[in-house]
Amino acid sequence: MDIHEYQAKELLAKHNIKTLPAILCHNQSAAYNAFITLASGVVAVKAQIHAGGRGKAGGVKITRSADETKNIAENMIGSKLITTQTGKEGKVVRKVLVEKGANIKKEFYLSLTIDRKTSKIAFLISPEGGMDIEDVSKNAPEKLLTVLIDPQYGVKSFHILRMFLFFNLERHLYNEFSELIPLLYFAFIQEDMSMLEINPLILTAEGNFIPLDAKVALDDNASFRHPYYADFTDEDEEEPLEVKAKNVGLNYIKLDGNVGCMVNGAGLAMATMDTIKEYGAAPANFLDVGGTADSKRVETAFNILLSDKSVRAIFINIFGGIVKCDMVAAGVVTAAKNIGLTLPVVIRLEGTNAQDASELLKSSGFNFTIAESLADGAQKVAKIVHSINKQYNIKKA
Amino acid sequence: MSILIDQKTSVIVQGITGKEGSFHASKCIEYGTKVIAGVTPFKGGTFFNETVPVFNTIEDAKKNFKIDATAIFVPAVFAASSIIEAIEAEISLIVCITEGIPSVDMLNVKSALKSAPSIMIGPNCPGIITADECKIGIMPGFIHKKGKVGVLSRSGTLTYEAVNQLTKSGLGETTCIGIGGDPVTGSSFLTFLEMFERDDETKAVVMIGEIGGTQEEEASEFVKNKMKKPVIGFVAGKTAPAGKRMGHAGAIISGGKGTALEKLSIMEKNGVLIAENPSVIAETTVKALNK
Q: What is the pLDDT of chain A when averaged over all its residues?
A: 93
Shortest Cα distance from B68 to chain A (angstroms)?
26
Report the DSSP beta bridge partners of residue A347.
A316, A370
> Residues A156-198: pLDDT tens digits?
999 999 999 999 999 999 999 999 999 999 999 999 999 999 9
- Among the partner residues A195, A264, A275, nearest to B157 by beta-carbon distance: A264
> Same structural domain for residues A5 and A119?
yes
A47 and A92 in contact (C-beta within 8 Å)?
Answer: no
Check which CATH number belongs to the domain holding B105 and give it.
3.40.50.720
Q: State yes or no: pLDDT of A210 exceeds 90.
A: yes
- B131, part of any domain: no
CB-CB neighbors (< 8 A) of B125 in chain A: none
- B77, part of any domain: yes
CB-CB neighbors (< 8 A) of A225 in chain B: 77, 102
In angstroms, what CA-CA distances link B170 with A233, B78, B105, B146?
A: 50, 42, 42, 10
Residue B256 to residue A266, Cβ atoms within 8 A: no
pLDDT number for residue A292: 66
> Same structural domain for residues B26 and B56?
yes
Shortest Cα distance from B136 to chain A (angstroms)?
14
Residue A274 to residue B239, Cβ atoms within 8 A: yes
Domain with A193 in it = 1-20+103-238
Residue B107 to residue A151, Cβ atoms within 8 A: yes
> Same structural domain for residues A248 and A321?
yes
CB-based burial of residue B144 (10 Å sphere; 0-12 exposed, 13-18 middle, 19+ buried)? buried
> Same structural domain for residues B278 and B154?
yes
Q: State yes or no: pLDDT of A230 exceeds 80.
A: yes
> Same structural domain for residues A332 and A383?
yes
- Give the C-alpha separation, B98 to B71, whole Å: 10
**CB proximity B279 to A under 8 Å:** yes
> Same structural domain for residues B103 and B144?
no
Domain with B15 in it = 10-121
> Same structural domain for residues A229 and A375?
no
Residue B243 to residue A274, Cβ atoms within 8 A: no
Long-range pairs, A235-238, Cβ under 8 A, ≥24: A236/A92, A236/A94, A237/A2, A237/A49, A237/A50, A237/A91
- B57, part of any domain: yes
Indicate the length of chain A as a whole number.
397
Chain center to CA of A91: 13
- B127, part of any domain: no
> Same structural domain for residues A153 and A255?
no
Query: What is the number of domains present in chain B?
Result: 2
> Same structural domain for residues A15 and A35?
no
> Same structural domain for residues B114 and B146?
no
> Residues B130-173: pLDDT tens digits?
999 999 999 999 999 999 999 999 999 999 999 999 999 999 99
Check which CATH number belongs to the domain holding A245 and give it.
3.40.50.261
> Same structural domain for residues B144 and B275?
yes
Q: Which of B93, B121, B149 is the last residue of a domain?
A: B121
The active-site residue out of A5, A10, A99, A109 is: A109
Q: Given pLDDT bands bounded at 50, 70 and 90, which one contains residue A354? A: confident
Query: What is the number of domains present in chain A?
Result: 3
Check which CATH number belongs to the domain holding B276 and give it.
3.40.50.261
Q: Which of B80, B95, B121 is the last residue of a domain?
A: B121
- B42, part of any domain: yes
- Give the C-alpha separation, A373 to A348, whole Å: 6
> Same structural domain for residues B146 and B239?
yes
The active-site residue out of A10, A197, A237, A299 is: A197
CB atoms within 10 A of CB A177: 18
> Same structural domain for residues B164 and B281?
yes
What is the SS3 string spanning chain A?
A: CECCHHHHHHHHHHCCCCCCCEEEECCHHHHHHHHHHHCCCCEEEEECCCCCCCCCCCCEEEECCHHHHHHHHHHHCCCEECCCCCCCCCEECCCEEEEECCCEEEEEEEEEEEECCCCEEEEEEECCCCCCHHHHHHHCHHHCEEEEECCCCCCCHHHHHHHHHHHCCCHHHHHHHHHHHHHHHHHHHHCCEEEEEEEEEEEECCCCEEECCCEEEECHHHHHHCCHHHHHCCHHHCCHHHHHHHHCCCEEEECCCCEEEEECCHHHHHHHHHHHHHCCCCECEEEECCCCCCHHHHHHHHHHHHHCCCCCEEEEEEEECCCCHHHHHHHHHHHHHHHCCCCCEEEEEEECCHHHHHHHHHCCCCCCEECCCHHHHHHHHHHHHHHHHHHHHHHHC
- Among the partner residues A116, A152, A373, nearest to B184 by beta-carbon distance: A116
| Nearest CA-CA partner of B157 in A254, A46, A292, A114 | A292
Candidates B239, B248, B252, B281: best to mutate against A (most CBs of A within 10 A) is B239
- B79, part of any domain: yes
Q: Least CA distance to A51: which residue of chain B?
A: B243
> Same structural domain for residues A305 and A160?
no
Q: State yes or no: pLDDT of A351 exceeds 90.
A: no
> Same structural domain for residues A146 and A2?
yes
> Same structural domain for residues A28 and A136?
no
CB-CB neighbors (< 8 A) of B247 in chain A: 251, 265-267, 269-270, 286, 288
Q: State yes or no: pLDDT of A353 exceeds 90.
A: no
According to DSSP, residue B242 is labeled: T
Residue A351 to residue B208, Cβ atoms within 8 A: no
Q: Given pLDDT bands bounded at 50, 70 and 90, which one contains residue A297? A: confident
- B94, part of any domain: yes
Check which CATH number belongs to the domain holding A86 and give it.
3.30.1490.20
> Same structural domain for residues B162 and B217?
yes
> Same structural domain for residues B150 and B226?
yes
Residue B111 to residue A152, Cβ atoms within 8 A: yes
Residue A266 to residue B279, Cβ atoms within 8 A: no
pLDDT number for residue A396: 61
Q: What are phi and psi of A200, to 5 degrees?
A: -100, 160
> Residues A83-135: pLDDT tens digits?
888 878 889 999 999 999 999 999 999 999 999 999 999 999 999 998 888 88
- Among the partner residues A224, A286, A288, nearest to B77 by beta-carbon distance: A224
CB atoms within 10 A of CB A340: 6
CB-CB neighbors (< 8 A) of A194 in chain B: 103, 183
CB-CB neighbors (< 8 A) of B154 in chain A: 267
In angstroms, what CA-CA distances link B210 with A257, B187, B188, B264?
A: 21, 16, 13, 10
Amino acid, single-letter form, for residue B111: S
Q: Least CA distance to A286: which residue of chain B?
A: B246
Candidates B19, B81, B154, B161: best to mutate against A (most CBs of A within 10 A) is B161
Residue B247 to residue A288, Cβ atoms within 8 A: yes
Residue A253 to residue B218, Cβ atoms within 8 A: no
Q: Which of A55, A73, A101 is the last residue of a domain?
A: A101
- Among the partner residues A119, A195, A376, nearest to B184 by beta-carbon distance: A119
Q: Is A197 designated active site?
A: yes
Q: State yes or no: pLDDT of A321 exceeds 80.
A: no
- B43, part of any domain: yes
> Same structural domain for residues B55 and B155?
no
> Same structural domain for residues A91 and A37?
yes
Candidates B22, B108, B142, B158: best to mutate against A (most CBs of A within 10 A) is B158
- Among the partner residues B114, B236, B280, nearest to A270 by beta-carbon distance: B236
**CB proximity B236 to A under 8 Å:** yes
Residues in chain B with pLDDT values less than 70 = 1
Find the mean pLDDT for residues A340-354. Answer: 90
The rounded radius of gyration (Å) of the Cα atoms in chain A is 26
Candidates A262, A270, A350: best to mutate against B (most CBs of B within 10 A) is A270
Name the residues of B annotated as catalytic. Answer: 248
Three-class DSSP category at B236:
strand
Residue B247 to residue A251, Cβ atoms within 8 A: yes
> Same structural domain for residues B100 and B236?
no
Q: Which of B121, B150, B180 is the last residue of a domain?
A: B121
* Largest CA-CA distance found in chain A, in angstroms, rounded: 82
Q: State yes or no: pLDDT of A293 exceeds 70.
A: no
Q: Which of A222, A238, A254 is the last residue of a domain?
A: A238
pLDDT number for residue A32: 97
Q: State yes or no: pLDDT of A379 exceeds 70.
A: yes
